[in-house]
Amino acid sequence: MNDTPPNKDPDDGLDALRSLLLKPEKEQIEQLQTRIENEDLRAEDVSEVLAEAFLIRLGRDDKLSRALTPTIESALESSTKRNTRVLVDAISPLMGPAIRRSILQTISGMIQSMNATLDQSFSVQGFKWRWEAFRTGKSFGEIVMLHTLVYQVEQVFLIHKETGLLLQHVTRQAIESMDGDMVSGMLTAIQDFVQDSFVGHPDEALHTMQVGELTVWIEQGPQAVLAGVLRGNPPTDLHAIFQEALENVHLEQKKAFEEFEGDAVYFEGSRRHLEECLRSQFRAEVAKRKKRVSPLMWIGLFAVLAALGFWAYVGIQAQQRWDGYLSRLDAAPGIVVIENGYRGGRYFVSGLRDPLAVDPTSFLPDWSLSPESVVGKWAPYQ
């Protein structure tokens, strides 16, 4: 019988050696794999650095705030539908001061507007503008705006880039609104024409259009186009405001763009970004003019005060003459004054008179009173 031990496979020895050498690393890899696959453990890991990550990101830019805004708005809407009392109790301490501040600002704005209107109305420039309004058939407000306006964004359109459909449209108050769908279709057609006929490069596009007194600024985005209708001479930094609004729309409406099938109702939340573009600016001379009083206003005020003073002087003189006449009647023998006053534009006096007493009307010329201005009723002594 052969007692020689069987030969061992050399690979078994290598496996055993490898197991001894790599056992710690293998255990760590298995632990990491378990931690990754376990949602509870992964959530616990994220929770340990979540607050710090928020602070770091907020310190860089405001993209995190913009990204969280739709979620927070949706949560507030759901909370309000479920229990309105919670939100009311939370904001009620702020409502009172905010309402009072709003009322004060409104009243202050009305007073400033009234001061500006009075200043413009009672100045040489104001009379010139009123004559221009009468001559051209325009309102005084339009003429004032044309002479004092630097620029004004009147309307803003948000247009889907691929289809040319109107997504949102905002208009400044007191401005006649255009047909949004017609304008968006027109702008898309013009851009396609310019692209095909003049530009040729897909990354280049139309940015400015002039239509009479109006200018159209166009900002291009990956999924949408923002077009603003302006009057006047806007500053170049207005482009940055338009671009920021368009970037915010793309950031917040990313899912709506991806799933867009022609329904613009999902872009209602973009209105606030478009309304931020409705900017305006007036000349600094107008603000200075508000702070100084026109010389014509001083003249008008002096004329009113002079008229009031003259009216008061005449009234006092007339009252003194009437009082003197009554005193003369009281001193006359055989005459007793019972009632006197002023009624229907004339003085009146009544009382008792002895038939032998002097005629009361004979005293009127002494006090510069005419017989037509005084009515006398005298009864004889009984």
Q: Which of 272, 290, 308 is the last residue of a domain?
A: 290
Contact 361, 336 (CB under 8 A): no
Are 286 and 301 contained in the same domain?
no
Domain ranges, residue 311: 297-380
Nearest to 223 by CA among 181, 264, 163, 274: 163
- 381's tokens: 């002594």
Q: What is the pLDDT of residue 285?
A: 47
Q: What is the pLDDT of residue 315?
A: 84
DSSP class of 137: T
Residue 81 lies in a domain: no
Contact 191, 218 (CB under 8 A): yes
Residue 79 lies in a domain: no
Amino acid in the structure at residue 271: R
User: What SS3 state is found at 174?
Assistant: coil
Are 168 and 148 contained in the same domain?
yes
Are 208 and 315 contained in the same domain?
no
Q: Looking at the chain, how many residues does it have? A: 382
Residue 54 lies in a domain: no
Are 282 and 360 contained in the same domain?
no
Q: What is the pLDDT of residue 179?
A: 67
Q: What is the pLDDT of residue 97?
A: 64
Q: What is the pLDDT of residue 157?
A: 92
Are 275 and 371 contained in the same domain?
no
What is the distance between the alpha carbons of residues 103 and 98, in angstroms, rounded to a whole number? 9
Residue 172 lies in a domain: yes
Indicate the pairing of strand 280-282 with strand 166-171. unpaired
Residue 56 lies in a domain: no
Contact 163, 170 (CB under 8 A): no
Residues with Cβ < 8 Å from 35, sequence gap 6 or more?
Answer: 41, 42, 45
Are 132 and 268 contained in the same domain?
yes
Residue 327 lies in a domain: yes
Are 160 and 234 contained in the same domain?
yes
Helical H segments across the chain, by residue range: 10-37, 39-60, 63-82, 84-121, 124-136, 140-148, 180-194, 238-252, 254-258, 271-275, 284-291, 295-331
Q: Which of 273, 290, 307 is the last residue of a domain?
A: 290
Q: What is the pLDDT of residue 300?
A: 78
Total domains present in the chain: 2
Are 341 and 373 contained in the same domain?
yes
303 burial class (0-12, 13-18, 19+ CB within 10 angstroms)? exposed
Residue 153 lies in a domain: yes
Q: Which of 290, 318, 337 is the last residue of a domain?
A: 290
Are 284 and 330 contained in the same domain?
no
Residue 234 lies in a domain: yes
- CATH number of the domain encompassing residue 282: 3.30.450.70
Contact 163, 184 (CB under 8 A): no
Are 191 and 316 contained in the same domain?
no
What is the distance between the alpha carbons of residues 26 and 19, in angstroms, rounded to a whole number? 9
Are 254 and 214 contained in the same domain?
yes
Contact 147, 131 (CB under 8 A): no
Q: Tens-of-pLDDT digits for all 382 residues of the chain?
A: 455 555 555 566 666 666 666 667 777 787 777 777 777 777 777 778 778 877 787 777 777 777 888 888 788 778 777 776 666 666 655 565 666 666 666 655 555 555 555 555 556 667 777 787 788 877 766 676 667 778 889 999 999 988 888 899 999 876 766 666 777 777 777 776 666 666 555 556 678 888 888 889 989 888 999 999 998 888 888 999 999 999 999 999 888 898 898 888 889 889 999 999 999 888 764 455 555 556 667 787 888 888 888 888 888 888 888 888 888 888 888 888 888 988 888 899 998 888 888 888 888 888 888 888 888 888 887 6
Q: What is the pLDDT of residue 286?
A: 46
Quote the pTM value: 0.44
**């309102």: which residue's tokens?**
139
Are 163 and 256 contained in the same domain?
yes
Amino acid in the structure at residue 217: W
